[in-house]
Amino acid sequence: MNTAFTSPTAFFFYFLIVGSVIVYFILLFDKKNRQKINKVLTQAKDVQPLFMIKAAQYKMMAVKDSFARDKISSPSVELELDKLTADYDKGLISLPDYCQQLNSLLKKTA
C-alpha cells in the first residue's frame, strides 16, 4: 500500500490540487472583473464622446475668433451660429451634427 503513495505520486496529486485551486481563483477573479466592466459600460452608454465635445468647443472658439478678428463679418453667419448654439443647448441637434455644422461655419468664415 505504501508503494501507491510514493513521493512522485504524492507530488502529482499535490500539484493537481494546488493547480486546480489556482485556476479556480483565476476564473473567479475574471468573472468579477467582467461584471465590473459590463456595469461601467452600461453606465457610460449615454455619455457623449469627450474628444468630440472638446473639438466642438475649439471650433466654436475658432468661429468666434474669426468674428473678432474680421470686423466686417456677415451677419447671416453670426445669426446661423447663434441659432446653431441655441438648438444644441436645447438638445435639438446631436453632437455629430453640431460638429458638422460648425465645420461648415468655419469654412464660411475662413
Residues 17-32: pLDDT tens digits? Answer: 999 999 999 999 999 9
59 and 95, same structural domain?
Answer: yes
Q: Give pLDDT, residue 51.
A: 87
Q: Give pLDDT, residue 44.
A: 80
55 and 81, same structural domain?
Answer: yes
In a 10 Å sphere around its CB, with 0-12 CB exposed, 13-18 middle and 19+ buried, how is residue 110 labelled?
exposed
- How many separate domains does the chain show? 2
60 and 104, same structural domain?
Answer: yes
32 and 56, same structural domain?
Answer: no
101 and 54, same structural domain?
Answer: yes
Range of the domain at 62: 50-109
Q: Give pLDDT, residue 45.
A: 77
Return the DSSP state at 44: T
62 and 102, same structural domain?
Answer: yes
DSSP letter string over 21-41? Answer: HHHHHHHHHHHHHHHHHHHHH
Q: Give pLDDT, residue 29.
A: 97
38 and 71, same structural domain?
Answer: no
62 and 12, same structural domain?
Answer: no
Q: Give pLDDT, residue 34.
A: 96
In a 10 Å sphere around its CB, with 0-12 CB exposed, 13-18 middle and 19+ buried, how is residue 9 labelled?
exposed
Mapped onto helix, strand or coil, the DSSP state of residue 106 is helix
55 and 7, same structural domain?
Answer: no
104 and 54, same structural domain?
Answer: yes
Place of cell 500539484: 15
pLDDT digits 0-9 by tens, 39-57: 988 888 777 788 888 999 9
pLDDT of 71 above 70 = no
Q: What is the arithmetic mean of pLDDT over 8-15? A: 86
Q: Give pLDDT, residue 2.
A: 57
Q: How confident is the model at residue 97 (pLDDT cuts 50, 70, 90)?
A: very high
104 vs 74, higher pLDDT: 104
Mapped onto helix, strand or coil, the DSSP state of residue 47 is coil
